[in-house]
Structure 1
Amino acid sequence: MSKQKSYTFAIILITSLFFFWGFIHNLDPILIKHLRSVFSLAHVQASLVDSSVFIAYFLMAIPAGMIMKRYGYKSAILVGLLLFALGCFLFIPAANGLSYMFFLTALFVLSCGLTILETAANPYITVLGDPSRAALRLNFAQSFNGLAASLAPIVGGKFILAEEPKSQEELMALGDAAKLAYIQSETSLVKGPYLVLGAVILLVAILFFFTKLPDIRDEEEVVGKNLFSSLKHKNVRWGVVAQFFYVGAQIYVFSFLLVFAEDALDMPGQQAKYYGALAGLLFMIGRFVGTFFMRFVEAYKLLMLYSIFAALLTLIVIFGSGMATLYALVGTTFFMSIMFPTIFAIGIRDTGSDTKSASSFIIMSIVGGAIIPPLSSSITDMTHNIHSSYVIVLLCFLVVMFFAWNTRPVESLENHSL
């Protein structure tokens, strides 16, 4: 009974982390829109915000796994929280220095912390309880990531997009001193939100430090194994591929939603931010709905169904016109909602003592968020048509659909052959 209680409190505490990294990730679309205007960036240059965030996942996922294997989940979470807070505080000198590269550096440091947090928290919550309900438990925790996704555009829009930024023509009309003063005032808008968030994360780190958490270990794991041994599992290998493409699609859809509204519909940021909030709300609802249906439907079947609907909506974005394309784009977020946690849960399924290294590789594949957005953005810059860039997103959803079918449980394969 006491063990169950300790697991319950641990799940609550770990679930709070899903909210925090969901919130910071969903400030990125606001940041992209803001910095693109302030520094007069092309689409590909603006996409470097995503690249600086998600390259950290590629570089830090394996070190994060090593920290977990050597020191446990709690130590990894504390290191992640401290780097998270440091990255937030670095936004202050970045804004003062008027440097786009400094902003990217701050995002990279922050994301190193997020990498460690996600590498630890995702598998930790799957092993805290009944293994058969791991996907359901992870989807529930990730639902709070969706809650953050619905709140971040509103908060970020209020404090960072306080007023519609000047166009490039208006900037060129300003004198050097006036232009510098304008850029300084615009970059300063990001300091407040990130300073507050950094302070909150430090408080969370202190709470974790003084809280006793269950340290789940496998006896075989304590002895130590080859970090790459997890790749012998088929579901881990396919999980790495599917997560790469899924995260790339998710980041491009969310990060460039406001840019899509501006380019395709000439919609100002102050109006578009509400569609960003709606996308986050649908993302959250999709997670809760998916978590509910996973009580009755196998995870791989639900993942297939969601990926098919996401692909169909993406076809409307590519070939449609007018507001229907924006509604379709926002609608994809509902069907993207269960993809990350479900791919993750299937990917580490039945990996036993290889769970932590499997988690490292699947988290490392989040680097797709650094590669897919620039690739998609380059299509926009080449074709001068943002609709065409979503062909890459369509491909990503088809990969997820194939993953779901290809990694279905052995018992499903046996039933299918009868």
Structure 2
Amino acid sequence: MVSGAPTPGQTGAQHPRKTYTAALSVLASLFFMWGFITVLNDILIPHLKVVFDLNYTQALLVQFVWFIAYFVMSIPSAKLLERTGYKWSIVIGLGIMAVGALGFLPASQFVSYGFFLGALFVLASGITLLQVAANPYVAVLGPPETSSARLNLVQAMNSAGTMVAPIFGSLLILGRSSSGAIEGGDAVAVKLTEAQKLADAQSVQAPYIGIVIVLLILAVIFALIKLPDLGSDTRRVAREERKQHSLWKHRNLVFGIPAIFIYLIAEIGVGSLLISFITRPDIGALTPEKAGTYLTLLWGGMMVGRFIGSALMRYIRAETMLAGAATGAFVLLMFVVFGTGHISMWALVLVGLFHSIMFPTIFTLGIRGLGPLTEEGSGLLIMAIAGGALATGQGWLADHFGLQWSFLLPAVCEIYVLFYALWGSKPTNAIAESEPLEPAATA
């Protein structure tokens, strides 16, 4: 439980640490849960590809509808956040996610790919609301000079969720599917009977019912606890101050929006196609179920990288760390495209280590110096997560030019991230940051 307003004589500068730590600990559960659910899509893609006999482009519609929700729902989410505040936006977001996860029941009963896509859109809409509320909240919940380190630290819990999800999905979804035990990538050529399609479609029911239960429990917990509200006292002043400033005069935001958009193409493309890539006979020759464990290593690398990055950013500039990560990811993707066998397989797995710090670092660099424009800038950066929808383009490349060559797309994305780190992230017209306010507890 977080304490309320300070007693007379206290200031936010004197006693914020304990309060912020408690709030961050509670919020970590959100980052874990949405990371867990998002990465389950990487399990669903090869699973539904076989169930519905899809090509790569069609299978990656899973990611298209998921990330297009960020584009469609970010502005409505920001307006809801302004009306209800951080806490109730989180509760509503968890409820929307539960409805989306529940939609997997009719989708699997009717064996309808369209129903699955619809349920995924609703689920992603709830996560969009959580992203709009939680990312800027964590960024401002403490001193501005440590915002990148703080967001990387909490995003590490997001990565913990992404690391656990492939194990969960491999055992409960791929492990129970008709093609899950076929060696050497031959699963992609399997034709299922109608009975097998029904059984495989219904294999997602138990995992997603469990997710519904967890989401509802979290919603109740967040409805009952108190969280510090850093926005209620500042929004009135911020509305007047916004009239004096323009978002588009801030270079770090203007180039940060496409940086998030382009980075998500790379992150989602790599994760979505990893299982398909390493089950190939000339790469890893693994079953889909066994390949799922390597997906765990990919996302586990992101978790480890975020802990390391959070620590190093106390001594190394965030821009420098971002430039190094982009360079490392590009080099590894060259090994993926031009290498063979286990060299390509492990290069792809290790990309996660270098992707780890990219999103939270680009995000915090993008809102640096925005002052009263921070909420609007954050909303635009969250909207840019819709770039993940264009990972479908990598599916098209795989269908037309080969799966291995398709990884040139994320490699090109790393070049833009490097540009952003070296030049695009440098602030222009920065607004002086104020000291963090002492939070007032909200019921």
TM-score bin (small chain):
over 0.9
Q: Give the Cα–Cα distance (whole angstroms) in 2 for the partners of residues 242 and 354 of structure 1.
A: 19
Q: Give the Cα–Cα distance (whole angstroms) in 1 for the partners of residues 109 and 375 of structure 2.
A: 40
- Which sits farther off after the overlay, 6-15 or 85-94? 6-15
Q: Give the Cα–Cα distance (whole angstroms) in 2 for the partners of residues 211 and 3 of structure 1.
A: 18
Q: Give the Cα–Cα distance (whole angstroms) in 2 for the partners of residues 279 and 169 of structure 1.
A: 26
- Which sits farther off after the overlay, 40-49 or 142-151? 142-151
Is 2:100–2:121's contact at 8 Å kept on the other side of the alignment?
yes
Q: How do 1:80-159 residues align onto structure 2 when only pairs under 5 Å count?
A: 80-159=93-172
TM-score, structure 2 normalization: 0.87
Match of 2:351 among 332, 337, 358: 332
- 1:390 is matched with 407
- 1:380 is matched with 398
- 1:416 is matched with none
| 1:169–1:359 distance in 2 versus 1, CA, 3 Å | closer
- 2:194 is matched with 180
Q: Give the Cα–Cα distance (whole angstroms) in 1 for the partners of residues 240 and 348 of structure 2.
A: 48
Is 2:369–2:427's contact at 8 Å kept on the other side of the alignment?
no
Is 1:164–1:268's contact at 8 Å kept on the other side of the alignment?
no
Higher helix share: 1
Q: Give the Cα–Cα distance (whole angstroms) in 1 for the partners of residues 384 and 49 of structure 2.
A: 27
- 2:257 is matched with 240
- 1:200 is matched with 214
- Which sits farther off after the overlay, 332-341 or 215-224? 215-224
Is 2:178–2:196's contact at 8 Å kept on the other side of the alignment?
no
Shift of 1:200: 0.6
| 1:21–1:65 distance in 2 versus 1, CA, 3 Å | same
Match of 1:209 among 223, 234, 237: 223
| 1:56–1:410 distance in 2 versus 1, CA, 3 Å | closer
Shift of 1:69: 2.1
User: Is residue 2:300 matched to residue 1:294?
Assistant: no
| 1:169–1:147 distance in 2 versus 1, CA, 3 Å | closer
Q: How do 1:66-77 residues align onto structure 2 when only pairs under 5 Å count?
A: 66-77=79-90
Q: Give the Cα–Cα distance (whole angstroms) in 1 for the partners of residues 407 and 100 of structure 2.
A: 31
Q: Give the Cα–Cα distance (whole angstroms) in 2 for the partners of residues 403 and 3 of structure 1.
A: 33
Structure 1 segments of 4+ aligned residues over 4 angstroms from their partners: 167-170, 222-226, 408-411
Q: Give the Cα–Cα distance (whole angstroms) in 2 for the partners of residues 223 and 410 of structure 1.
A: 22
Q: Give the Cα–Cα distance (whole angstroms) in 2 for the partners of residues 307 and 269 of structure 1.
A: 29
Shift of 1:408: 4.7
Is 1:164–1:269's contact at 8 Å kept on the other side of the alignment?
no
Q: Give the Cα–Cα distance (whole angstroms) in 1 for the partners of residues 259 and 67 of structure 2.
A: 16
For the residue of structure 2 that corresponds to 1:214, the secondary structure is strand
- 2:370 is matched with 351
- 1:18 is matched with 31
Is 2:164–2:296's contact at 8 Å kept on the other side of the alignment?
yes
Q: Give the Cα–Cα distance (whole angstroms) in 2 for the partners of residues 276 and 189 of structure 1.
A: 20
Q: Give the Cα–Cα distance (whole angstroms) in 2 for the partners of residues 79 and 164 of structure 1.
A: 34
- 1:171 is matched with 191
Shift of 1:232: 3.3
Match of 1:47 among 44, 60, 66: 60
Q: Cα deviations across residues 111-150 of structure 1 (Å, max 9, x unaligned)? A: 0001110111000001111111100000000001111121
Question: For this pair of structures, how many residues does the alignment match?
Answer: 402
For the residue of structure 2 that corresponds to 1:398, the secondary structure is helix
Is 1:34–1:165's contact at 8 Å kept on the other side of the alignment?
no
| 1:128–1:321 distance in 2 versus 1, CA, 3 Å | same
Gapped runs of 5+ residues in structure 1? Answer: 173-178, 412-418
Q: RMSD across aligned C-alpha pairs, in angstroms?
A: 1.8
Match of 1:221 among 238, 241, 244: 238
Q: Cα deviations across residues 27-72 of structure 1 (Å, max 9, x unaligned)? A: 1111001100111110000000000100000001111111222322
User: Is residue 2:205 matched to residue 1:191?
Assistant: yes
Q: Cα deviations across residues 310-332 of structure 1 (Å, max 9, x unaligned)? A: 00001111111111001000111
- 2:8 is matched with none
